[in-house]
Structure 1
């Protein structure tokens, strides 16, 4: 696992270029300790620089530079940059597994949490849900903004951290007892007026398991004029049994079953395979194995000409310094379109041909 996020901040005695922070009473430190799939400590430094353009503080005895905040998804109002970064980041200590979660096709959760300190959150990679219970089977969930209500995070911190953890596939986040985690509170000079700690355990690759009968099939709409084709996402995820990039097409129920086995082959359960009606085609787009979370693929449009289907595909990758789950992933998406097609062409949102890599194939 990658250990990359920060552990120590202290507003310090050492002044840089004759500038200082506006008094130690302005200093506040808020830290998020991440365990499990991401072993990082993230510290926000709140304070002001007064009339100076920079200042310093001591973190564990080492001076760090404070300047006005930089542009970054984790930069928050009232915070200062630390050594040129929005937050101060160091690795955290590895923990034994704390959490097991599954989600069924009706949106209910089974949660086993061996350190029941606080709430459990879930994301499908696009939005967040707070599970209505810390432990048990058949738990429902409530949509929330980011990780609001988690530990001692402010709403702004919860939104920023929740946003940084999106687009990494299914993920569960549980609040730990910050007083019992192995990473101690940071020493800070001068002592801050406020010091908040929130400890979180991250579990990637939450599987979806079948629950109840498959939904009734929907009659597809025909292609619209001008070659445009309506496209419906059937499912997506980040843990396919596919190591190389591939595009696979299914025009029969048997081929669709094969697609679902590839998509869900690395998890313990899978939803029922939907009915494939006459005159429909399902396409699977697989990015192949990636070294971390933060990668995703989505089909945003489709058009058809003869037996060739063109899909507009958006591929995302983590940016420099992004918070990513440190586990191998294999992002994928399955889409349904009306019409009979034998070939698939991919383009990016600007219309340029998109090559996922070698290893593609068609399954009919």
Structure 2
């Protein structure tokens, strides 16, 4: 009896060892490797299943293929991989390849672009393509996300662009194959098509103040006032949520030290004009990218400044930069104020968290 059972076990082992991957028909594999602010390989597997199930090996790891699921990254013709819309792996850490800044007039500077390729930019809402790979005072044109980047199909570029939208200001460029640190994936059975695109992502692109123009008109009681963004970013030296008002040059200098305290090469502090206030809104430390704050309007009532703010946070399963962030924005308004309150687009009060009270200096 023992011999019979042992023989059956050995036979089963032999059968398993002889199994081959039952890859789908017309197997195609498309990969995008993300470096910099996001370190992740995203792999779409295309094909047709026989019997509703198949398998492949990627870098020697067996993967189960089934009909595609409902997911923001799911695409027509793709299959689910181990129950997910895509197969994901980490990418290697690389040295910074891209440095982009923008100013409040919408002009860009690119002092560093080792990839020497096209630069795409999103402010978290729309996408632009810069008119130069490097230099100062560059302009940009609206584009349909990352279409045309590397070997991405239009559908892949669209879902990737949507996934990155809402992550705050990002700059993206395509890395040349020679500068990609990770080798291409090995796939068994060999796919009929393999596409590979490597992107470098600069998260938290800072916004710098443009040259000052004509001072805005002073506010009228109970009316709307002009609000101008001076600068914004995602890496302030501020762990707790806070709102700070600056009505003196020394206070504005202090705000800039907080905003740029975790960065090297901070820009010069602009001059505070007579009869105006600068407000800093700090979200405090957040666990990943995808968080941000933007001031969309301002009004005055009884000596209190009210700012309408838009606060972003990443959705479930979103592609986010995997690093601690501390989003912030600095805005300039005409008038001198001692207190400020935040509201959302519907006029409801916004609480950033502990320590969010306004402070005038």
Matches of residues 131-280 of structure 1 in structure 2 within 5 Å?
A: 131-178=130-177, 180-208=179-207, 213-220=211-218, 222=220, 229-230=224-225, 232-234=227-229, 235-252=231-248, 254-265=250-261, 266-270=263-267, 273=270, 276=273, 278=275, 280=276
Please state if 1:307 is matched with 2:306.
no
For 2:209 and 2:302, locate their aligned partners in 1 and report how far apart those are by CA, in whole Å. Answer: 36
Q: What is the TM-score when the length of structure 1 is the normalising length?
A: 0.78
1:101-130 Cα distance to aligned partner (Å, 9 max, x none): 4445661323333344x3222333333332
**By how many angstroms is 1:147 displaced?**
1.7
**By how many angstroms is 1:169 displaced?**
3.5
Instruction: Give the stretch that moved more between structures: 74-83 or 87-96.
Output: 74-83
Name the CA shift for 1:55/1:255 in 2 (closer, same or farther; >3 Å): same
Please state if 1:324 is matched with 2:323.
no
**By how many angstroms is 1:78 displaced?**
2.9
Matches of residues 2-81 of structure 1 in structure 2 within 5 Å?
A: 21=24, 24-25=25-26, 27-49=27-49, 53-59=52-58, 60-72=60-72, 74-81=73-80
RMSD value over aligned CA atoms? Answer: 3.3
For 1:130 and 1:217, locate their aligned partners in 2 and report how far apart those are by CA, in whole Å. Answer: 31
For 1:53 and 1:230, locate their aligned partners in 2 and report how far apart those are by CA, in whole Å. Answer: 61
For 2:112 and 2:330, locate their aligned partners in 1 and report how far apart those are by CA, in whole Å. Answer: 30
**By how many angstroms is 1:254 displaced?**
5.0
Q: What is the TM-score when the length of structure 2 is the normalising length?
A: 0.78
8 Å CA contact retained: 2:219, 2:335 = no
8 Å CA contact retained: 2:286, 2:325 = yes
8 Å CA contact retained: 1:210, 1:271 = no
Match of 1:6 in 2: none
8 Å CA contact retained: 2:223, 2:299 = yes
SS at match of 1:47: strand
Name the CA shift for 1:179/1:267 in 2 (closer, same or farther; >3 Å): closer
Number of residues of Structure 1 aligned to a counterpart in Structure 2: 338
Consecutive unaligned residues in structure 1, runs of 5 or more: 1-11
SS at match of 1:164: helix
**By how many angstroms is 1:303 displaced?**
5.2
SS at match of 1:156: helix
8 Å CA contact retained: 2:205, 2:233 = no
